[in-house]
Amino acid sequence: MIGVLLREVKEYKKASIATPVFMILEVLMEMIIPYLMASIIDKGVSVGDIQHIYKIGGWMVAAAGVALFAGMAGGRYGAKASAGFAKNLREAMFNHIQTFSFANIDKYSTAGLVTRLTTDVTNVQNAYHMSLRMFTRAPASLLCAMTMAFSINVRLATVYLIAVLVLGALLFLIMSRATRYFQEAFPKYDDLNASVQENVSAIRVVKAYVREKQETEKFRKASENIYRIFVRAECTLVYNAPLMQFTVYTCILLISWIGAKMIVSSSLTTGELMSLLTYCMNILMSLMMMSMVFVMVSMSMASIRRIAEVLNETSDLKDPREPILEVPDGSIEFKNVDFSYKKGSARPVLQNINLKIHAGETIGIIGGTGSAKTSLVNLVSRLYDVSDGEVLVGGINVKKYGLEALRNQVSVVLQNNVLFSGTILDNLRWGNKEATEEECREACVLACADEFIQKFPQGYYTYIEQGGSNVSGGQKQRLCIARALLKKPKILILDDSTSAVDTATDKKIRRAFREEIPDTTKLIIAQRIASVQDADRIIVMEEGRIDGFGTHEELLESNEIYREVYLSQTKGGGDFDEKAGE
């Protein structure tokens, strides 16, 4: 798990290695200074040897200078390594998410992915920075200080050893308890982010239904959950400081008391006692630092698992070893196709689909809500893979195509129309980044979008707000259709994408398709029979099966569902979910 993340250190390996090296150098210099100070007191101050004081004092200044340089260099390289590591992690996660199929994306909430890319990566960055610096410095300082203390006086150094063992055990109990709370806290950020995202994206609905108080209360509860867990964790950690202070002062008292007796008996010098007191602080503070690093790493373990989960996720859809990069034509064939969103489902979403569509045909697809119309067309551009059977485009199984090559020839206008912040031209060029302004205008004429774009003061340079909030639903649909047409695809799929368009405009769009792009295969999902009745053939879907397939006239004669809905709609506004006589 940790190894998966460490692969993203990449170009920051040198900085990651340099940081602990400089930390160890800083510790060595710091440990030398108390030893030199003892020499000044015992061999300089006590006997009045000013030359010895100058000499050793110079070495102390040099050691302090090296320690200062090493500390600054360690901090600089540590910051560079941790920030770079976090940058690479975010890029790796984001790039990996782009390879996900719809089935992979369905496993995660949007808020969960955002939390992983932000909060979780920040936690890992902080833990990595602490590990490079403090987790190197603290053990090195502890080991060096203990070694120096034992080299001065074994009896007094034993006091430190006992204190370290007792304090270490108590700190471990505190840390293990606090860690459990932190591991509970970070997944709660998903709920918090989900609340914010849902509220902001649906703010118009919230205000329309005057639900501000309820949304505020929902956010307050999510925030309160995080607050309570962190309070419990921090209340556990507060014992660190008093426990550390108690241990430090106890050690100082014991060392001073025992050391004073030893000085009187001439078995210890004053300088050695001062050095031991300094090492006492180094030893215990090192233990304190190690405990805080342990907390930080423990806090980040939940984040590490969540990031590794995304990086280890493998896409269900992969290019074959030798992908076909050219789609011959827009013909489509389904052979004994079954499909389920989840493996092992008791009942497939699509069952025993057998269908053949010729290149250039216009095919209408109608059916009630939940009849799997969208699921059917999603298999054509291989947004999902079939559970059984095969789908052929241009006479070739879609699994044999390169994904990019296939999707460049199959334009899909999804049910949920999405526009991005930027000008109208920017949005249109999502379909073809090389498209000229004239080509964009031609696509908009076909989609009946040019007529309203020309009315904007800035025309095609009008800025679209995030999510297309400054254009109507019908305008958004027509822009998305124009964007799909710019790809000049062999297959065009419109998934109920004229539902917000008036009947007259819908008719204009269908006529433009018939006259201007006759060689493109068109699959049009609709609820209104008027939107598809002039199609070459019409598919009637019912509970994941094809209930009827033929022309408008043939279905009126042979298909009961189609006939009932047609009569219902022509009599006064029924839709496909309202069958006659019900």
What is the CATH number for 286? Answer: 1.20.1560.10
* Per-residue DSSP letter, 575: -
Q: pTM for this one?
A: 0.70
Lowest mean pLDDT among 22-26, 56-60, 186-190: 186-190
Of 308-317, 413-422, 551-560, which has the strongest mean pLDDT? 551-560
Average pLDDT over residues 175-187: 74
151 with 251, same domain? yes
Average pLDDT over residues 119-130: 88
Specify whether the CB–CB gap between 127 and 297 falls below 8 A: yes
Residue 307 above 80 pLDDT?
A: yes
Q: Where are the alpha helices (DSSP H) in 486-580?
A: 503-516, 552-558, 560-572
Residue 354 above 90 pLDDT?
A: yes
Q: What CATH number does residue 339 fall under?
A: 3.40.50.300
Q: Is residue 323 part of a domain?
A: no
Q: Please give the residue range of the domain that contains residue 387.
A: 332-572
Cα angle at 544 between 543 and 546, to 5 degrees?
Answer: 100
Q: Is residue 322 part of a domain?
A: no
Q: Is residue 18 part of a domain?
A: yes
* Per-residue DSSP letter, 462: P
How many domains does the chain contain in total?
2
| C-alpha distance across the termini of the chain, in Å | 57
Between 514 and 416, the more confident residue is 514
Average pLDDT over residues 80-97: 92
Q: Domain ends where: 258, 284, 312?
A: 312
366 with 500, same domain? yes
400 with 475, same domain? yes
User: Of all residues in the chain, what percent carry a pLDDT higher than 90?
Assistant: 21
Average pLDDT over residues 207-221: 84
Residue 357 above 90 pLDDT?
A: yes
What integer pLDDT is reported at residue 206 of this predicted model? 82
**pLDDT, tens only, 229-251:** 888 887 887 887 788 778 878 88
Q: Is residue 325 part of a domain?
A: no
What integer pLDDT is reported at residue 363 of this predicted model? 93
What integer pLDDT is reported at residue 376 of this predicted model? 92
Specify whether the CB–CB gap between 358 and 329 falls below 8 A: no
Residue 577 above 70 pLDDT?
A: no
Between 284 and 155, the more confident residue is 155
Structure tokens at 196: 């914010």
Q: Is residue 415 part of a domain?
A: yes
Q: Domain ends where: 312, 344, 363?
A: 312
271 with 363, same domain? no
Average pLDDT over residues 78-106: 88
Across the chain, mean pLDDT equals 84
Q: Is residue 387 part of a domain?
A: yes
Between 270 and 132, the more confident residue is 132
Lowest mean pLDDT among 225-234, 374-383, 395-404, 483-492: 225-234
If pLDDT is split at 50, 70 and 90, which confidence band does 581 have? Answer: very low
Residue 2: in which H helix or E strand, if any? helix 2-6
436 with 554, same domain? yes
Distance separating alpha carbons of residues 437 and 58, to the nearest angstrom = 75
416 with 508, same domain? yes
Angstrom CA distances, 183 to 33, 384, 433, 443, stand at 41, 35, 45, 52
360 with 495, same domain? yes
Between 398 and 139, the more confident residue is 398
300 with 339, same domain? no
Beta strands in 217-342 (DSSP E): 332-339
- Most distant CA pair in the chain, distance: 120
Q: Is residue 582 part of a domain?
A: no
298 with 414, same domain? no
Q: Domain ends where: 312, 344, 369?
A: 312
Q: Is residue 512 part of a domain?
A: yes
Residue 532 above 60 pLDDT?
A: yes
**pLDDT, tens only, 471-527:** 888 888 889 889 888 888 899 998 887 777 777 888 888 888 888 888 899 999 988
Residue 103: in which H helix or E strand, if any? helix 102-105
What integer pLDDT is reported at residue 390 of this predicted model? 93
Between 325 and 152, the more confident residue is 325
542 with 506, same domain? yes
What integer pLDDT is reported at residue 40 of this predicted model? 83
If pLDDT is split at 50, 70 and 90, which confidence band does 353 have? Answer: very high
224 with 152, same domain? yes
Q: Taking phi first (over 0 means left), then psi (-120 to 50 degrees means alpha), and beta for anything else, what does residue 257 get? A: alpha
What integer pLDDT is reported at residue 575 of this predicted model? 58
Q: Is 554 helix (H, G, I), strand (E, B) or coil?
A: helix
